[in-house]
Amino acid sequence: MNAVRRDLLAGTVLIPDESNPHFIALHKQFFDEYRPLPGFETAEVESMVYWRWRGLRLMGIETAGLTHEIANHKGASQDQLSAPTHAFFATRNLTDNSRALTYIGRELTRCESHFNRAHRNLVDAQSKRGRKIHEIDPGVPPNPLETNESPAQNEPAKPGNEPGNPAA
DSSP structure string for 83-131: HHHHHHHHHHHHHHS-SHHHHHHHHHHHHHHHHHHHHHHHHHHHHHTT-
Mean local confidence (pLDDT), 84-103: 91
Cα angle: 17, vertex 21, 26; to 5 degrees? 110
Range of 34's domain? 2-139
Q: How many domains does the chain have?
A: 1
What pTM was estimated for this model as a whole? 0.72
Q: In this model, does residue 144 exceed pLDDT 50?
A: no
| Amino acid found at 144 | P
Does 145 fall in a domain? no
Does 151 fall in a domain? no
Does 164 fall in a domain? no
Does 146 fall in a domain? no
Q: What does the mean pLDDT of the chain come to?
A: 83
Whole-number pLDDT of residue 50: 97
CB 168 within 8 A of CB 63: no
Q: In this model, does residue 138 exceed pLDDT 90?
A: no
CB 101 within 8 A of CB 91: yes
Give the integer Cα–Cα distance in Å for 164 and 128. 50
